[in-house]
Amino acid sequence: MNPQGEVQRPLDLMADEVFARSCAGNSSVGILISEEVEEVVAVKAAEAGDFVVSYDPLDGSSNLDVDLSVGTIFAISRLAEGGDAERLPQGQDLLCAGYAIYGPSTMLVLTTGGRVDGFCLDPETDTFVLTHPDMRIARETGEFAINASRRRHWDGVVQDYVAQCIDGPIGPRGKAFNMRWTASMVAEVHRILIRGGVFLYPIDDENRTRGGKLRLLYEAYPMALIVEAAGGRATNGKTDILRIVPDSLHQRTSVVLGSGAEVDRIAAAYEQAERSGDSVHLRQETCG
Ligand code: AFP
């Protein structure tokens, strides 16, 4: 079991070991935060300026047995001057974020905040080649991604949003929507970067006590930095993901990210529900 009580597969642990070993070989890395490890790992006696690397070594590992895409997600920040090694990195501190996706091709998608670039692994030369410069997320989309088997747990905002998408041309949206769900956040975000879309993993009645499903530091933060640098938006429904202040290492959060027009619509629906005091559960705060 990992710190979140989820079953760890052998490849989760191997990926964690490989990632940690390669970071430890870099003298600028001081601290590692991994999905698979309960505590912060100090690679050396941490000094101000050292890099803090938060990562999910193998995201989407339920896809391994069925040979679908999985990936590695990471975010990098620096330990502040006079910094406390125990202080958790915040969204605003992130210098860089990226993911690798192990699909039909292996890609590395990277941002240092200004823009997002995609690199394909050339197995002949063992180098990453810039193949997708300046990836941008279309503001408008006709595609959404959510685990629809959780519908009975959703709050009213998500119920309404998905129902309207499914109603397509005969509903209030007046257009057809397509749906995808791969159970691998890396694959979902990659698809959104390539052809637009919106991804939702909301807090619902089943995961509310845990604060949602996705982890803030090494899933939501890095993906939010990437999505925003590509012109999209990432929120928990109420607060932009990068503005959430973490209070525990493996904190979870609600996530809605992707094409700006759809994320804006969902955030506005939450705001409206809160204003009108609907019975929608709007507690978006995350807990450990
Ligand atoms: P792991 O990192 O444990 O493989 O979890 C993957 C994930 O957090 C994320 O990639 C998916 O969006 C989500 O789980 C899928 O979860 P469901 O099985 O609940 O659809």
pLDDT of residue 278: 66
What's the 60 CA to ligand 1 centre distance in angstroms? 5
Helix (H, G, I), strand (E, B) or coil at 119: strand
Dist. CA 238–CA 101, nearest whole Å = 29
**Which atom of ligand 1 lies closest to the CA of 186?**
10
Give the number of other CB atoms < 10 A from CB of residue 11: 13
Dist. CA 134–CA 142, nearest whole Å = 22
Q: Kindly state the average pLDDT of the residues 206-222.
A: 97
- Is residue 6 over pLDDT 50? yes
Instruction: State if residue 183 touches ligand 1 by the CB under 6 angstroms criterion.
Output: yes
What's the 159 CA to ligand 1 centre distance in angstroms? 20
- Is residue 65 over pLDDT 50? yes
What's the 13 CA to ligand 1 centre distance in angstroms? 16
Edge to edge, the sheet with strand 178-179 lists 178-179, 143-145, 198-201, 255-258, 233-235
Please state the length of the chain.
288
- Is residue 281 over pLDDT 70? no
From 9, 147, 180, 251, give the residue whose CB has the most ligand 1 atoms within 8 Å, as the site to mutate.
Answer: 147
The continuous run of DSSP H or E covering 131 comes out as: strand 127-132
**Which atom of ligand 1 lies closest to the CA of 2?**
3
Helix (H, G, I), strand (E, B) or coil at 201: strand
What's the 71 CA to ligand 1 centre distance in angstroms? 11
Domains of the chain are 143-287 (3.40.190.80)
Task: Using CB atoms within 10 Å of the CB of residue 95, give its burial: 0 to 12 exposed, 13 to 18 middle, 19+ buried.
Answer: middle
pLDDT of residue 83: 65
Residue written as tokens 């990098």? 76
Ligand 1 atom 6: residue of nearest CA: 60
Residue written as tokens 């519908």? 151
- Is residue 153 over pLDDT 50? yes
pTM of the model: 0.94
Q: For residue 251, which of 32, 63, 89 has the smallest C-alpha distance?
A: 89
pLDDT of residue 82: 66
